[in-house]
Amino acid sequence: MLACGVDVGSVQTKAVIIDGNLIVQGRGIVHSGANLARAARHALLEALREAEVAECDLTYIMGTGYGRFVIPFAHNNATEPACHAQGAVYRFPKTRTVLDIGGQDTTAIKIDSFGNVLDFAMNDKCAAGTGRFIESISDLLGMSVEQISETERRESKIVRLADACGVFAEAEIISHLEQGRSIEDILEGVFDGLANRMVGLLQRVGIEEEITLTGGVSGNRAMVSAVEAKLGRSVNSGVDGVYVGALGAAILGLEKATCGV
């Protein structure tokens, strides 16, 4: 039995295929673009190629993410918190708090030992807490996201950003550059501000041990370091975090197939 989860995000679309033992057989990732249904199809095809199976071999396909309602080949869809919770517990079984940092929104999720969502809080009103904001800052500074991800913490020279709004923050960054502040110090301020907002979300649901970061930004070292500094503890993260939502969707899909619902 094979199940597939397809996570259509605002920036990237991911697909993960698992077998009946919850072992990942194939993965795919593409840029979402304007045509979300096409992105979902392309991500699925990548995962099928890696798994060396055909679409007809899939017992169940579960959609999730920003574009979960526009996946024409999905049997059903599930919410992002539910999928990220399941995926996080699969990767790190002791997870009780999840922070999903996506391209368009950030979500703090409190879960139980089975990956069931107990509570969640979402920041979807402003881009300043998301991957899109980090991308816009990297463009503004003429750097790649990968380059700013490697920024090391230098708290003694941090540039505090006064405005939490993404648009005004960019104007403030330009002002700091004109004043001769270094890019490293400015980036420190950017990630410090982002971490403040993310930890605030976590506090709204209650911070429980242990904490797992998911979503595309969970592989950003500078962001992870800033969150850990604010929390005063280490968190689970890694470059594979971008696939956690799709993995969780696949797990839920497998459950549906097994139960025959």
Mean pLDDT by 10 residues, the chain (261 residues): 96 96 98 96 98 98 96 97 98 97 91 96 70 85 86 65 64 84 84 89 94 94 93 93 97 91 58
Report the pLDDT value the prediction gives residue 168, as an integer from 0 to 100.
67
Cα dihedral sign for 160, 163, 166, 172?
negative
Report the pLDDT value the prediction gives residue 125, as an integer from 0 to 100.
58
Cβ atoms 225, 213 nearer than 8 A? no
**Taking phi first (over 0 means left), then psi (-120 to 50 degrees means alpha), and beta for anything else, what does residue 102 get?**
beta
Task: Tell me the one-letter amino acid at 146.
Answer: E
Report the pLDDT value the prediction gives residue 154, as an integer from 0 to 100.
61
d(CA 241, CA 178): 36
| Six token digits for residue 144 | 């790649």
Q: What is the largest CA-CA distance in the chain?
A: 64
Which residues, including other chains, have CB under 8 Å from residue 142's CB and lie 6 or more apart?
A: none
Task: Tell me the one-letter amino acid at 126.
Answer: C
Q: Give CA separation, 116 vs 48, 83, 169, 240, in Å.
A: 28, 9, 36, 21
**CB neighbourhood size of 106 (10 A):** 25
Question: Where does 95-235 sit in CATH, by number?
Answer: 3.30.420.40
Give yes or no on whether 1-92+243-261 and 95-235 have one common fold: yes
Q: Which CATH class, in words, describes the domain spanning 1-92+243-261?
A: alpha beta
Residue spans of the domains in the chain: they are 1-92+243-261, 95-235
What pTM does this model have?
0.91
